[in-house]
């Protein structure tokens, strides 16, 4: 994973470097996420797949368990996918506490083998790095769908990270073209995201990935429901169908 030169040092201002790549795959019949994370010297890799057989997941504290090199997703007996860009990638850098953080979001398409089937599905790749504050809390939504007039739609919505009124990572992609949207508000049960422009993305969970870790200096409380999405995005874009994830995460790192 390529990151800007400003995010190579292992420590800045007393804050350890955090880096991660997350690939979300959003289909009607199967959804999945794959992640490789490094907090200082501590690695973690995870995957989750939701299909007709329910939610299966695994977390390992060794990055080799999930291969997310550029252009691939490979997990033994789970996934063998090619990842190709499918729209405009966006990058932003912002302050978080006293230090800087960076992210790149790339709409993508994955093709290959996933959970026993051949797939060709929309996806989103999240590459992030930075010297985040000791305690970081965020809410996030990402997904893909089709508008009522047949356009390809993706979304990436957040509070807590890169969430200024401008220069944020909030985006809606329409046929691959990225549009920054205004601030958003997440409901407490993670079933709705409301837009400053009006309208809302409604979410119906099918399953949830949740985890709590206490690792000496590090701790994490994490919820990520998988499900279907409906509603109207900024610009009057009404979804005919949609699938995605919601997330709430509190990290002490």
Residue 2 located in a structural domain: no
pLDDT recorded at residue 159:
99
Residue 8 located in a structural domain: no
Residue 3 located in a structural domain: no
SS3 content of the chain, % helix, strand, coil (to 5): 0, 70, 30
187-239 pLDDT, tens digit per residue, is: 999 999 999 999 999 999 999 999 998 887 889 999 999 999 999 999 999 99
The answer to whether 49 and 55 have CB atoms below 8 angstroms apart is yes
What is the domain extent for residue 182?
16-252
Whole-prediction pTM: 0.97
Determine what percent of the chain is predicted with pLDDT higher than 70: 100
The total domain count for the chain is: 1
Residue 9 located in a structural domain: no
Per-residue pLDDT band for 55 (boundaries 50, 70, 90) equals very high
Q: How many CA atoms lie within 13 A of 198 on its CB side?
A: 4
SS3 of residue 65 by DSSP: helix
pLDDT recorded at residue 217:
83
Is pLDDT above 90 for 13?
Answer: yes
- The span from the CA of 190 to the CA of 171, in Å, is 19
């Amino acid at each position: 994973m390529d990151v800007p030169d400003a995010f190579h040092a292992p420590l800045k201002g007393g804050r350890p470097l955090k880096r991660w790549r997350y690939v979300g795959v959003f289909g009607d019949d199967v959804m999945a996420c794959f992640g490789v994370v490094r907090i200082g010297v501590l690695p973690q890799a995870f995957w989750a797949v939701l299909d007709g057989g329910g939610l299966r997941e695994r977390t390992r504290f060794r990055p080799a368990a999930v291969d997310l090199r550029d252009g691939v997703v490979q997990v033994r007996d789970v996934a063998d996918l090619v990842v190709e860009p499918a729209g405009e990638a966006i990058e932003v850098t912002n302050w978080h506490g006293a230090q800087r953080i960076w992210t790149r979001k790339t709409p993508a398409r994955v093709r290959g083998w996933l959970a026993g089937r051949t797939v060709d599905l929309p996806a989103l790749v999240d590459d992030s790095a930075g010297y985040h504050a000791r305690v970081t809390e965020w809410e996030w939504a990402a997904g893909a769908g089709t508008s009522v007039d047949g356009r390809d739609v993706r979304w990436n919505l957040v509070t807590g990270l890169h969430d200024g009124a401008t220069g944020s990572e909030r985006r809606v992609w329409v046929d691959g073209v990225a549009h920054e949207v205004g601030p958003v508000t997440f409901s407490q049960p993670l079933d709705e995201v409301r837009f400053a422009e009006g309208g809302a993305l409604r979410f119906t969970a099918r399953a949830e990935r949740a985890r709590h870790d206490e690792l000496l200096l590090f701790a994490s409380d994490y919820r990520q429901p998988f499900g279907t999405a409906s509603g109207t995005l900024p610009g009057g874009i009404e979804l005919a169908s949609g699938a995605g994830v919601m997330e709430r995460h509190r990290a002490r790192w």
